[in-house]
Amino acid sequence: MSGGATGLSRRGVLRGSAALGLALVVPLGRASGAKAATLTANAFLSVTAEGAALALPKTEMGQGVFTTLAMLVAEELGLAPAQVAVTIPEGDSARFAPIDQGTGGSSSVRELYKPLRQAAANARAALVGAAARQWGIPPERCDLVGGVVIETKGGRRLPVGDLLAAASAAPLPKDAPLRPSSALRVIGKPTRRLDSLAKVTGETVYGIDVRLPGMKVAMLAQCPMFGGTLATFDEKAARTTPGVVQLVKGSDVLFVVAETYWAAMQGYIAANPQWSAPKGPADHAHILAGLDEALAKPGFEAKSTGDVAAAKARAARPFSATYRQPFLAHAPMEPGSCTAHVTPEGCTIWAGSQVPAQARDDAAKALGLPADKVTFHNCQMGGGFGRRLETDMVVRAVELARQVPYPIKLMWSREEDMKHDMYRPAYADQITAALDAGGKPIGWEHRIAGSSIMARLLGQGFTGVDADAIEGAVAIPYALDAHRVTFQQAESAVPTSWWRGVGGLRSAFVVESFIDELAHAAGQDPLAYRLSLVTDARIRAVLERAGREAGWGKPLPAGLGRGIAVLQLWGTVIALVLEARVADGAITVPRATVAVDCGLAINPLGVAAQVESGVIFGLSAALHGEVTIKGGRVEQSNYHDYRILRLNEAPAIATHIVESAADPGGMGEPPCAVVAPALANAVFAASGKRLRTLPLAMALERVS
Amino acid sequence: MSYSLTVNGKQVTVDAGAIDMPLLWVLRDVIGLTGTKFGCGAGLCGACSVLMGGERFFSCQAPARAFIGQPVTTIEGLRDDPLGKRLQDAWVEADVVQCGYCQPGQLIAAAALLKANPAPDDEAIEAGMSGNLCRCGTYPRIRKAVKLAAAGGKA
């Protein structure tokens, strides 16, 4: 279950690049000779005598698709999940089209649930059909179980290995029926991960672990001030540092090439690079002022239903609040790295990427090569969280690799990783609600200001509204007669990108904090108040379940409080109740209770893992996460000043999966997205302090 | 001049140029044992943990020289130790792993914990395991897995 399932084995790496290439490419073609070795179901799934081979169209970064997607295949093919040999394929947009290899936005299972089951079902029909033809009976009287086609009401059996040739020779069925819900034996069953053993024995090769014959190791120093340039450095001192091979400079970067990372680091210290700052102010206060200015502008309309002005005019009273969220770093445990080798024939790259096809294309563009001259071997990732949706690491690696004759592993120090992330944008939001006499909102206007990731990606195509930033703000759980949402772009020197939870994360903090404030302003219980405003049955069920399981309403000791938040996004509805203790100016979180309707829960054990992961990831950010800028530089550098929770700080987490007939929803991001508002609301319940600025530990300090 | 280290029961020769390098980089870049991970380079995350005797050390913080004459166990050697195997199996059983990058260090920390205290309570687990960061948030299952291994590894 483990060895072949690691994507690439250490032995493969040590054997060298040619062997590694073979180790990474799953031979999907047929073996020569009369007997076909495989039945090709599509570009990434094939059936073998031993089981199935799945080249993951989406990639594994911890979220568990290695296992979940294997389960879908196993279900239709009558296999155990461990009989599906999963590999992480090269970046290749043509091979996987129309499926995008990009892994983000909680999309893996949502995008692949139907196509992957269908492909496996088609392969089953091909094998069953081949057996049925041989036996002269209708295929309905056959099934595929455990690598054998059986005659369901008779004793005949044919192993898959004996049917591959005949099944391959016939046209592949296109729309074979999927197994009925009543017959599922893999989907919905708690299933342990298939990649665990390789990971706990240290066998899994992450991007940073790649080693090639003749390879050198480099570290890079990029100008610490965004937009600045390399001025001077002491080349002689660096070159005479033991182990240093050479230095390569770029306009805003210095690469130190050495025999080992440690030697490269010593060379960098000796080089002592000096930088030229860009023009213009780049302090945090200036950036925050820019957000406030943007918030005061009219903004671009993202949504307008009903008449907000009329609602305000007839309101019993208005209610308004402003919320602020900081830049966030991703800080995955595996710092940036990318290995590249440029030869006259082309370029070969090894790295962990959430967008392997994009990475290949971007490397080709940087090298001025056609994409087919670039091979991108994707690796297991030591966390992604959106950081590896960007290809800056790959582009930097080829920038260096084209200038040296040997394979080069380019590494980021933790400090470099922290100071040259592409950060979750800082935002300022304001909601102004019109309340009726009973304290319920009859309309509200939500203004959003912040950096637009979509604007960077769309360029001229951007028309003013960031479709990501408004997610979770335009479709909210609550009925409003009038609802207006605007977005105003506000850029700074700080580069921004996707971060786990994306738009839903930022919007949920605002919407779910605000609705809580309205409940308290109306003198009502926050859960009851929410339930009085929701119309969707799934949202209601999830809220009620979370409340019940968390013991909502039961008295808590002084200093403890419960907070709730709910979100419907990515096909999933999730509600979280957090218990927070506020004492001695600090916030601790003993307990979290989640109710989630994620549609069909393919792997309940994986769903719970993503809940635990998202809650803790979200708590790190909600309590401590903040990247600040001083003199144009990121102030944070490592885990001491960019804190993430430790084991002793993690709450007990209970996950309750609400039965659902809906198609599978996303699970990578929803749990993370509801944490900050649930915590802010719990802090209010515990202390009476309403914190509207993240991170909350610092916000509490300021009001204490 | 060269030196000898004992890594996972095997003698490894390290030349004078590398002996003052942190053990982490000797393991990863010189010997080629990449199971021990680089996370922070500052002793903050525990991903680089190795055992010397039964004790856990951050290999990014100590030169290889400090380990001369001492038995070093990395994640690649942990399975040869019955306790190590029990822990790894408990990790699989409790379905701990997500991205997995920090887990070699977590397992080394857990091995050191159980060697010193075969039946740790919650407080002892917190004390023993809070030096290791996990960005995926596998802490609840790490707690479970440590208890499972301490109880003998039965589910």
The predicted complex's ipTM stands at 0.98
Q: Which two tokens stand for residue B68?
A: 């001369």
CB spacing of A650 vs B139 below 8 angstroms: yes
Determine the structural domain holding residue A353 and report its residue range: 207-277+336-411
Mean pLDDT of the region B126-145: 98
Q: Locate tokens 């970064």: which residue?
A: A61
Q: Nearest by CB to A414, which of B18, B40, B76?
A: B40
Task: Pick B79's closest partner by Cβ from A201, A331, A614.
Answer: A201
How many domains, chain A? 3
pLDDT at A15 over 50: no
Instruction: Say which of A14, A382, A616 has its CB closest to residue B99.
Output: A382
Question: Considering chain A, what is the average pLDDT of its residues?
Answer: 94
CATH of domain B79-150: 1.10.150.120
C-alpha–C-alpha distance, residues B23 and A646, integer Å: 25
3-state helix/strand/coil string of A399-418: HHHCCCCCCEEEECCHHHHH
pLDDT tens-place string over residues A556-608: 999 999 999 999 999 999 999 999 999 999 999 999 999 999 999 999 999 99
Report d(CA A290, CA A307) in Å as an integer: 29
Note whether residue A435 is domain-resident: yes
Once rounded to an integer, what is the mean pLDDT over residues A333-362? 98
User: Residue A280: its pLDDT value, please?
Assistant: 74
Share of chain A above pLDDT 70, in %: 95
One domain for residues A393 and A495? no
Asked if the model's pLDDT at residue B47 lies above 90, the reply is yes
pLDDT of residue A23: 35
Q: Higher pLDDT residue, A33 or A685?
A: A685
- Nearest chain A residue to B140 by CA distance is A652
Strands of A244-249's sheet, edge to edge? A244-249, A253-258, A216-222, A408-411, A337-343, A346-351, A374-378
When pLDDT is averaged across residues A22-38 and rounded to a whole number, the result is 47
pLDDT band for A11, please (50, 70, 90 cuts): very low
In a domain, A140, yes or no: yes
Average pLDDT over residues A331-341: 98
In chain B, the residue whose alpha carbon lies closest to the alpha carbon of A263 is B21
In a domain, A291, yes or no: no
Among A411, A433, A459, give the residue marking a domain's end: A411
Contact state of A382 with B32 under an 8 Å Cβ cutoff? no
Whether the per-residue pLDDT at A36 is higher than 90: the answer is no
pLDDT in tens, A449-471: 999 999 999 999 999 999 999 99
Q: Is residue A21's pLDDT more than 60? A: no
* CATH classification code of B2-77: 3.10.20.30
Residue A16 binned pLDDT confidence (cut-offs 50, 70, 90): very low
Q: Is the same domain home to A375 and A496?
A: no
Do A181 and A259 have their domain in common? Answer: no
B135, A650: Cβ pair inside 8 Å? no
How many angstroms separate the CA of residue B35 from the nearest CA in chain A? 4
pLDDT at B154: 58
Look at residue A25 in the predicted model and tell me its pLDDT: 34
The DSSP result for chain B, as a single string, is -EEEEEETTEEEEEETTTTTSBHHHIIIIII--TTSPPS-SSSSS-TTEEEETTEEEETTTSBGGGGTTSEEE-HHHHTTSHHHHHHHHHHHHTT--SS-TTHHHHHHHHHHHHHH-SS--HHHHHHHHTTS--TT--HHHHHHHHHHHHTTS--
Mean pLDDT value across residues A369-394:
97
Q: What is the 3-state secondary structure (H, E, C) of A225-236?
A: ECCCEEEECCHH
Place of tokens 């960098």: A268
Which of B78, B95, B101 is the closest to A609 by Cβ? B95
Residues of A with Cβ-Cβ distance to B138 under 8 angstroms: 609, 612-613
Size of the A and B interface in Cβ pairs below 8 Å: 186
Residue A35 has a pLDDT of 58
Residue A261 and residue A161 share a domain? no
A436 and A342 together in one domain: no
In a domain, A440, yes or no: yes
Residue A18 has pLDDT above 90, yes or no: no
Q: Are A432 and A402 within one domain?
A: no
Taking an 8 Å cut-off on Cβ atoms, the answer to whether A333 and B37 are in contact is yes
Residues A183 and A213 in one domain: no
pLDDT at A105 (0 to 100): 87
CATH code, domain with A101: 3.30.365.10
**Domain residues of chain B, as ranges?**
2-77, 79-150
Contact B95 A382 (CB under 8 A): no
Q: Are residues A593 and A451 in the same domain?
A: yes
| Beta-carbon separation of A381 and B141 below 8 A | no
d(CA A342, CA A246): 17
* DSSP-derived secondary structure letter, A491: -
How do residues A160-213 score in pLDDT, each as one tens digit? Answer: 999 999 999 999 999 999 999 999 999 999 999 999 999 999 999 999 999 999
- pLDDT value at position A106? 87
In this structure, the answer to whether residues A454 and A520 fall within a common structural domain is: yes
Q: Is the pLDDT of residue A26 over 80?
A: no
CB–CB of B138 and A645 under 8 A? no
Interface test with B, best of A199, A241, A269, A354 (most B CBs within 10 A): A199
Report the Cα–Cα distance between both ends of chain B, in Å, rounded: 51
Same domain, A310 and A341: no
Q: Are A420 and A222 in contact (CB under 8 A)?
A: yes
Exposure b/e, A446-459, CB count within 10 A at least 16 = b = bbbbbbbbbbeeee
As a whole number, mean pLDDT of residues A355-384 equals 97
CA distance A625 to B120: 32
Contact (Cβ atoms closer than 8 angstroms) between residue A379 and residue A8: yes
Assign A279 a pLDDT band (cuts: 50, 70, 90): confident
- Band of residue B153 on the pLDDT scale cut at 50, 70, 90: confident
A329: alpha, beta or left? (left if phi > 0; alpha if psi -120 to 50): beta
Q: Do A260 and B21 touch (CB under 8 A)?
A: yes
Burial of A277 (0-12, 13-18, 19+ CB in 10 A): middle
Supply the pLDDT for residue B141: 98
Mark which of A135, A169, A200 sits at the end of a domain. Answer: A200
> Both A441 and A350 in a single domain?
no
A488 lies in the same domain as A385: no
Q: What is the mean pLDDT of residues B119-131?
A: 98
Question: Quick check: is A689 in a domain?
Answer: yes
**Chain segment A254-271, per-residue pLDDT in tens:** 999 999 999 999 999 999
- A379/chain B closest Cα distance in angstroms: 12
Domain boundary among A200, A227, A254: A200
Q: pLDDT above 90 covers what percent of chain A?
A: 92
Task: Kindly report, residue by residue over A73-124, the tens digit of the pLDDT.
Answer: 999 999 999 999 999 999 999 999 999 999 998 889 999 999 999 999 999 9
A270 Cβ contact partners less than 8 Å away, ≥ 6 residues apart: A234, A237, A238, A240, A241, A244
